[in-house]
Amino acid sequence: MGEAASKESEARKIPVYIMGKRYEVPEALTIMKAVEYAGYQYIRGAGCRGGICGACATVYRREGDYKIYAGLACQTVVEPGMHLTQIPFYPALRAPYDYAGIEPKAEVIAELYPELFRCVACNACTKICPMDVQVLDYVSALKRGDIAAAAEISFDCIQCGLCASRCFGEIPQYHIAQLARRLWGGKLKPRSPHLAEMVENIEAGKYNDAVASLMAMNVDELKKAYTQREMEPAMSDEKWTPTNREGLLG
């Protein structure tokens, strides 16, 4: 028996309820690992299996607690007596639109998603968000016509759909926020001057020799060049700029 298997067998087992059926699983497992330990397979809803992609949205209740909780199966640790179920996909309406031709205006968002104004400010959407996004705040920002604020507030949204599952107004908040971020990032936010300069330099072939030099290196040479490169300090109170702004190496 391997070391990992031995530790698993020694771990204390706790009861959890998956789709209404009781299972004994090792404590300290994530919900995702506990579900698999119980014999289920993740065909859908597994996503990245260790991050925050939003595919493994889970609704659960704690033993003796009337409240309904939500989290991501890849991060949330099981608790004794937990009753849980998966929501791998929430069928909220996503309005069709032509991004290339759409105007970046708040009125356009309101036309595509008129249900935005059914919001009753109950804040259930914020309470269920596993990423602690202030969902009501960005909904309110869009009702005021502030696309920039909505894009910033909703930046950590992972499109899990849990907000829509609790909404009294039946609003697809996460789809609306995604549109706001697309309009802000792609059509409204000022372009970075140095980005345009970099694109021009690349198209002019300024870095061709440096790239060719890198491609000619063997693995050891690449490792040396990587570890000796100039890079931003991990922690610094001062604004940092590289001394070598011309090439890729050094």
Q: Which residues make beta-bridge pairs with 25?
A: 14
Cβ(42)–Cβ(18) under 8 Å?
Answer: no
Phi and psi angles of residue 82, each rounded to the nearest 5 degrees, phi first: -70, 130
Tokens of 18: 């998956």
3-state secondary structure of 173: helix
The full DSSP string for 65-124 is: ----EEEETTTPBP-TTEEEEE-S----------TTT----HHHHHHH-GGGGG-----H
Side-chain half-sphere exposure of 177, counting CA atoms within 13 A: 29
Which domains are assigned to the chain? 10-86 (3.10.20.30), 106-188 (1.10.1060.10), 202-250 (no CATH)
Residue 32: which of 88, 62, 75, 80 has the closest Cα? 75
- pTM for the whole thing? 0.74
Residue 140: which of 121, 115, 159 has the closest Cα? 121
Residue 159: which of 179, 183, 137, 187 has the closest Cα? 179
Residue 144: which of 96, 172, 175, 180 has the closest Cα? 180
CA distances to 10, 36, 61, 64 from 79, in Å: 18, 16, 10, 12
**Hunting for tokens 């309470």 — which residue is that?**
127
3-state secondary structure of 235: coil
Cβ(229)–Cβ(250) under 8 Å?
Answer: yes
What local confidence, expressed as pLDDT, does residue 243 receive? Answer: 80
What local confidence, expressed as pLDDT, does residue 233 receive? Answer: 82
Q: What does each of the 250 residues of the chain score in pLDDT, given as a tens digit?
A: 455 555 555 789 999 999 899 999 999 999 999 999 999 988 877 878 777 788 899 999 999 999 999 999 999 999 999 999 888 778 899 999 999 999 999 999 999 999 999 999 999 999 999 999 999 999 999 999 999 999 999 999 999 999 999 999 999 999 999 999 999 999 999 988 888 899 999 999 999 999 999 999 999 999 999 998 888 887 777 777 778 766 555 4
